[in-house]
Structure 1
Amino acid sequence: MKFEFLGTADTGGIPLHLCSCAVCEKARLEKTTNRSTSAFLELEDGSVILFDAGCDTLMDRFNTTPIRAVFLTHFHADHALGLIRLRKSAQKVICYTPNDTEGFGDLLVHKNNIEYRILAPFEKVCVGGVEIVATPLLHSKATHGFVLFTCNKRVAYLTDCGGMSEESLLFLKAQKLDYLFLDAAYTPSFDSDKHLNWESAHTLIERIAPKEGYLIHASCHTLLGVLKKGVNLTYPYIEQGFSIEV
């Protein structure tokens, strides 16, 4: 099975509109893009499980592909926007979410063909032979990360994370993860309790101790900071299209 990122950037994406920084200009020159952080797991039968739905072209990318479920980390636009079109699917789409009664836009009012199911902290769901556990994260909205258990690998997808409780930290550490993908949206010079930076993310990864760790949800300004400071990151930022076999 393949776990692939549809995007690993923050809300604005890369290149950012009208931004002339070195990161954005390089992306334009190389004709590459990196959109909001989201991923999918492709199962053996070709169907997929989505992790976040911020990309509004989901209906195009997976137009003839069965979607077993969507696991939504939280109801911010850059993670939920694609549901606006996806809810018009000809078949029911199950979407697992944290307990958030506000949602995003009118998604919870006009559900159409999406069936929302609230996941309690540390609740486990099995989809297509894959166990997925909701792991609470600290953010400005109710937010879950997700830990995936396949036959071969243990993977944690933790985006939009300003920190986590000791309970979540101990749970993650106990799983002996193969791969950990962790939010590091900011530079250490920017103080925020909504997202980690590359230093605080590094500290968390060291405490969780996965076999491999990666950083996600960066803006062009964050990556420019890495570039200008010549930072040698132990755990690298990944880009759109990054994939692993699980």
Structure 2
Amino acid sequence: MKFEFLGTADTGGIPLHQCHCAICEAARVEGVSNRSTSAYLELDDGSVILFDAGYDLLCETFNTTKIRAVFLTHFHADHCLGLLRLRKSVDSITCYIPSDEHGFGDLFLHKDSIDYLVLEPFSSIEIEGVKIVAVPLFHSKPTHGYVIFTCKGVVAYLTDCESIPEQSLAYLKAQNIDYLFIDAAYTPWFESKKHLNWESAGAYIDEVSPKKGYLIHASCKTLLPLHVKKIRLKYPYIEKGFAIEV
């Protein structure tokens, strides 16, 4: 099975509109467009499970692909905008969500083909031999991270968060996680009550101790000082298209 990122950036994406920093200019020259953080798991039969739905081109990318389910971390625009078009699918699609009575826009008012099911903290869903567990995170909206268990490995997808609750951290540490992907939206000198930075995210990776750890949800403003100051981090930021076999 393949776990691949459709995007690993923040809301604005890279290149950011009208930004001419070195990061954005390099992306334009290379023809690279890294958009909102989201990923998918491709199953052995070619169908997929989506993790978040903020990617602009979901309907085009998976136009003739069976979507088994969507696991939404939270109802911020950059993680659920793709549902506005995906809800017009001919197929019925189950979207697992944290408890959030407000949702986003008119998604709950006009559900169309999307069936929203609330996942309680630490509850699990099994799809084609894959177990997915909802792990609560602290963010500005009710948010879940997801731990994905396949026959070959364990993946933790943890975006967006400003911290990890004690019970969730204990759960993560008790698993033998192979790959951990975690929100590191900011630099250490930018204070935020919504997101981690590369130091605080790195500290969580150290504590959970997966086989491999990676940073996600960056903006060009986060990546620019790494480029200018030639800072090498213990755990790297990844880009759109990063994939692993699990």
TM (norm. structure 1) is 0.99
CA contact (8 A) 1:137 1:163 kept: yes
CA contact (8 A) 1:202 1:235 kept: yes
Q: For 1:102-154, what per-residue CA distance to the aligned partner results, in whole angstroms no more than 9, with x for missing partners?
A: 00000011000100000000001001210000000000000000000000100
Amino acid at match of 1:57: L
- Match in the other structure for 1:146: 146
- Match in the other structure for 2:102: 102
SS at match of 2:115: strand
Residues in 1 aligned to 2:229 and 2:138: alpha-carbon distance in whole angstroms: 28
Matched, 1:171 2:193: no
Identity value in percent: 67
Residues in 2 aligned to 1:92 and 1:125: alpha-carbon distance in whole angstroms: 17
Residues in 1 aligned to 2:96 and 2:226: alpha-carbon distance in whole angstroms: 35
Residues in 1 aligned to 2:112 and 2:241: alpha-carbon distance in whole angstroms: 30
CA contact (8 A) 1:75 1:141 kept: yes
Amino acid at match of 1:112: D
Structure 2 residue runs without a partner (length 5+): none
1:41-190 pair list within 5 angstroms? 41-190=41-190
What do you get for the CA RMSD once the two structures are aligned? 0.6
Matched, 1:12 2:15: no
CA contact (8 A) 1:56 1:85 kept: no
Q: For 1:213-246, what per-residue CA distance to the aligned partner results, in whole angstroms no more than 9, with x for missing partners?
A: 0000000000002112322101000000000000
Residues in 2 aligned to 1:88 and 1:198: alpha-carbon distance in whole angstroms: 38
Structure 1 residue 56 displacement after superposition: 2.7
CA contact (8 A) 1:145 1:159 kept: yes
Residues in 2 aligned to 1:216 and 1:225: alpha-carbon distance in whole angstroms: 16
SS at match of 2:84: helix
Structure 1 residue 55 displacement after superposition: 1.2
Matched, 1:209 2:209: yes
CA contact (8 A) 1:134 1:147 kept: yes
Residues in 1 aligned to 2:231 and 2:100: alpha-carbon distance in whole angstroms: 38
What is the number of residues matched between the two proteins?
246
CA contact (8 A) 1:47 1:68 kept: yes
